[in-house]
Amino acid sequence: MRVSTVCSVLLSALASFATAAQPERTVDIFAWPLSAAKPQALTKIAYNSTTATVKTYKTPLIPADEQIVRIGFFHPDSSTSWNGIATSASNLAPEKDKTLQILLNTDGVIYHVGLAAFESAVASRGGAKGDGLKVEVVPMRSGPVVHMNKPVVLDAEGKLADKEPEKTFLQKYWWAIGIFLVLQLVMAGSKE
């Protein structure tokens, strides 16, 4: 009992150490109304491969007649090439529950963003809560693999190892003998 407690404590410590050791990266997310000349900073997010936190959040200034806003980030080595999505301007309204999705590739680096916005009543459970913006990490799934059948395991003699020993006659048919005996007893009793 004690050993297992110690083990679990140790393991959890290790796990937290592993999380802490992961490089924490930051990314600046911009909002870019379709008619605007240049993007405006929306939020700064710190993330690692499992969690993300909103560092800063600024409610974007969107013209009233604007329909579409682009949300994205600039590539680290370039100031013109960007990755991002288009979303309806109403999704960034303050009354909506917004969840920014950070899509990470297998190296744990952001490659794309997503935005889920719902009316407050249908609020989804998200990650760390920012100033009107939640953020969640969507790691790259590993591709589906073939579900293999159970391998056939043979023992040293080349026979199936986990073959169950056959039941004896008594083990199989004890109930029949039992019924027979009870019947005999009852019949014997009734004859008297």
Q: Which of 23, 144, 165, 189 binds other proteins (CB under 8 A)?
A: 144
What gap in Å lies between CA 124 and CA 50, rounded to an integer? 18
- The alpha-carbon radius of gyration of the chain (Å, integer) is 32
Cβ nearer to other proteins, comparing 76 with 165 = 76
Report the residue from 16, 35, 50, 184 that binds other proteins according to the rule CB under 8 A. Answer: 35
Residues 98 and 117: their CA atoms lie apart, in Å, by 4
- Give dist(CA 95, CA 89) in Å, integer: 12
Contacting other proteins within 148-177 (CB under 8 A):
148-149
Pick from 26, 105, 154, 182: which binds other proteins (CB under 8 A)? Answer: 105
* 71 contacts 83 by C-beta, under 8 angstroms: no
Residue 93 binds other proteins (CB under 8 A): no
> Cβ(112)–Cβ(83) under 8 Å?
yes
Per-residue mark of binding to other proteins, 123-142 (x: CB under 8 A): -----------------xxx
| In the complex, minimum distance from the CB of residue 190 to other proteins, in angstroms, rounded to a whole number | 47
- The Cα–Cα gap between 102 and 96 comes to 19
Q: Which residue's structure tokens are 């605007």?
A: 36
The residue ranges that bind other proteins (CB under 8 A) are 32, 34-37, 68, 70, 72, 75, 81-88, 90-91, 103, 105-106, 109, 111-112, 114-118, 122, 140-149
